[in-house]
């Protein structure tokens, strides 16, 4: 083989490797698995398998996904999009699905549950839901299965290189502290400051437990501007065309302390890399500059039945659906559309400190 041919082949290999790097595919050796914890924003169908009032396994959910799967949106969730960009061939499967077993779990599992929260009594209005403590219990079961399959040393190495993400907190406000049938007595006994402090205290223990089970690269997603979702707008008509102030104040108070907690954990837990994902900032920017992002509607649900903003009745078979989902920030009364999720996911993957810090997801998975 001539020198020129060798040079050509080496150059070609460099080009191919550069292509994969630029296209955002973290090589399998860097991120072998994707473990997802959270609520309905990232649930991939776990609630299909429990008795709960919080479900999304019916039309028109999934209208742009080939049909309903249990995802609370018209298409993909944020973690679906991130997983695709990182090079995973399949979407991370829900823990409770019968097919999520054997070698499948070596590439990651989704434990998220619609209605779930940091506090165990959050979401009790729905009946069944899997809160964060129970999700970590389920991961502990998966962990044991993986250890039995490949051995302790290989399992710990797998976890140390894997991507973990936690999207929690919204329900602790929307379906706990701010729930109409519960909020009046709760708010008289517990101040917003006390409630947020309780959430942070519990979250510290939970994230530490996740670390103790082997998680090292952990993306912690904050609470978005929940006062701007169609449900809050319609149930608080006095706000007019503005977002509802109290929910957003609660979210910002929690987020400030969460950012400090994430920094604290990265400092105190040896070998850990906790990342703070500021979805509040990202979504607020989308809402403030929605036309710049290609949207035509920033405050109403695409899937709607009742209410000025379509936020009074959950999305379901009787609902009407907007013709062009790509023009709506919100899919239903609570959740973003696939189009909004794409923007959020891209900001988390490649964004700067405005949306994620101290590194973005791509930098985290390459570290």
The catalytic residue positions are 40, 332, 335
DSSP strand pairing (217-221 vs 320-321): unpaired
DSSP state of 327: G
* Contact between 48 and 70 (Cβ < 8 Å): yes
Q: Where are the alpha helices (DSSP H) in 151-226?
A: 152-161, 170-172, 180-189, 192-212
- Taking phi first (over 0 means left), then psi (-120 to 50 degrees means alpha), and beta for anything else, what does residue 58 get? beta
Residues in the chain: 367
- Burial, 53: exposed, middle or buried (Cβ in 10 Å; 0-12, 13-18, 19+)? middle
Q: Say how far apart CA 357 and CA 255 lie, in whole Å.
A: 13
* Contact between 48 and 96 (Cβ < 8 Å): yes
């Amino acid at each position: 083989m001539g020198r020129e041919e060798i040079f050509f082949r080496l150059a070609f290999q460099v080009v191919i490797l550069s292509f994969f790097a630029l296209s955002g595919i973290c090589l399998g050796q860097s991120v072998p698995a994707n473990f997802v914890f959270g609520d309905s924003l990232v649930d991939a169908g776990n609630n299909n398998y429990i008795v709960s009032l919080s479900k999304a396994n019916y039309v028109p959910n999934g209208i742009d996904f080939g049909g309903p799967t249990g995802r609370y949106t018209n298409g993909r969730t944020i973690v679906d999009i991130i997983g695709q960009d990182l090079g995973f061939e399949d979407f991370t499967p829900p823990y409770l699905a019968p097919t999520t077993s054997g070698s499948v779990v070596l590439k990651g599992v989704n434990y998220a549950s619609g209605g779930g929260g940091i506090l165990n009594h959050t979401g009790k209005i729905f009946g069944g839901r899997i809160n964060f403590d129970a999700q970590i219990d389920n991961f502990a079961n998966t962990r044991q299965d993986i250890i039995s399959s490949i051995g302790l040393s290989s399992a710990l190495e797998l976890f140390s290189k894997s991507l973990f993400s936690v999207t929690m907190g919204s329900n602790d406000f929307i379906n706990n502290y701010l729930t109409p049938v519960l909020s009046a007595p709760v708010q008289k006994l517990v101040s917003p400051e006390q409630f947020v402090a309780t959430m942070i205290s519990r979250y510290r223990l939970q994230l530490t437990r996740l670390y103790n089970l082997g998680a090292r690269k952990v993306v912690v997603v904050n609470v978005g501007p929940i006062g701007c979702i169609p449900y809050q707008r319609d149930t608080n008509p006095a706000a007019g065309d503005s977002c509802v102030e109290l929910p957003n104040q609660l979210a910002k108070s929690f987020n400030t302390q969460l950012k400090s907690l994430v920094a604290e954990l990265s400092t105190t837990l040896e070998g850990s890399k906790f990342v703070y994902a500021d979805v509040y900032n990202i979504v607020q920017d989308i809402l403030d500059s929605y036309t710049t992002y290609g949207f035509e509607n920033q405050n109403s649900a695409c899937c709607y039945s009742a209410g000025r903003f379509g936020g009074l009745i959950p999305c379901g078979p009787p609902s009407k659906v907007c013709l062009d989902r790509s023009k709506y920030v919100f899919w239903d009364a609570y959740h973003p559309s696939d189009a909004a999720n794409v923007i959020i996911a891209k900001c988390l993957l490649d964004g700067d400190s405005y949306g994620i810090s101290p590194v973005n997801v791509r930098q985290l998975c390459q570290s």
